[in-house]
Chains A and B, each alone.
Chain A
Amino acid sequence: MAKGKVKFDIETCKGCELCIEACPQGSLQLSPKINAQGYHYAVLIQDNCTGCTNCALVCPDAVITVYRETKKKEKVPVARITNVTENITVTIADERE
């Protein structure tokens, strides 16, 4: 899953393309469709958003809301070693999803 997600208020977008210019992944483009104001609005075309907020920062009309995966994660041990004095048991941790 991509680290970031974006939502566009497509009715407010004026198709100025500044977000397209600003996206480091080049993952934004204008839709061939138009909104009620007659503007082609910006849409995400590749699911590789990093949540960097560059697009939202340059957006004149505050069209974009940006989400990013929560940074705080539990520390997951790769392996657990038990019974050190007798038979050493090594349990490999499950794959994280």
Chain B
Amino acid sequence: MTVGDIRLMKGNEALAEAAIRAGCQAYFGYPITPQSEILEYLTDEGRKRGMIVLQAESEVASINMVYGAGGVGARAMTSSSGPGFSLMQEGISYIAAAEVPCILVNVSRGGPGLGTIQPSQGDYFQAVKGGGHGDYNLVVLAPSSVQEMADFVFDAFDLADKYRTPVLILADGALGQMMEKVEYHDYIPADHIPPKPWATTGKPKDRAPNVITSLHMQAEQMEEANLKLQEKFRTIATHEVRYELVEAEDAEYLIVAFGLAARIAHRAVELARAEGRKVGLLRPITLWPYPSDVLRALAARLRGVLVVEMNAGQMVEDVRLAVEGRAPVHFTGRMGGVIPSPDEVVTALNRMAANSVKHPVEAN
């Protein structure tokens, strides 16, 4: 393996740099803490390297600009945080329905409402359970390091173009602000971008007009369009599940966590193992499609599953669905931007192990 370009970078900037290298042609965004650095980095570096970067008047305008850009076949992107993401939901629904490829980035902060600028994982439901109206899914990637903030951008663009669908990178404010080593590898966008004969680039005489739309007035046509979308999502679910398993082979207990919480949980696994506890970690990387199959298979031999999140308990529902009663599922979490410590997680783990009641769910 050749040594790539190694840098010490802030998560937001690493992600932005990755976008440039992934051949992103257009970025439209609006400032919001904790992710404004993405807009700023691209305004500076991105434009120097040929990107169209525009600070739009709002997140509403941003997402609709992404729709327009993706519709002409460009690799297009926007980023925001919770409140801005809420504004984008209509546009995201349109993008998913019209099958416009693009990538979205949510550097989550504490909510609900105006909330705080501190990190949280409170947008899980919004990301994986719809967010916008109608039947659709976003492919959701959850990085847990600055390296992954960069790597997942390449993956996201490739997935978006492969399936003609929006892909969301769900990060949080800590990942966006922290600085870590990141290594960039060679990536030639032209090798990855497929032909886009459906794009609206001006209709020559020899083809029918291309129309980017999500409107189907006849019920049967609307159903047909939905069936086609659902078929696509099934295909994605079959082929694109990603996760990481840590010390799960002999585990009696499993911690399930994503993003920043997974790093903390990883440390908790180390601490617990040192105390003799046989515990492992499942880190979903795709939050949609969720690694339900591997979790279901593991659950059969587990004495307990502990879900660690920085919210009031969101992914825990998907864990419970996957586990299907085979093992008790517990939850521990902090909100408001408070980051749980590995010790807190170990404490919760020990409490779960000591607790003989089936299916309790407790917040810390």
A and B touch in the complex (CB under 8 A): no
Interface of A with B (CB < 8 Å)?
none
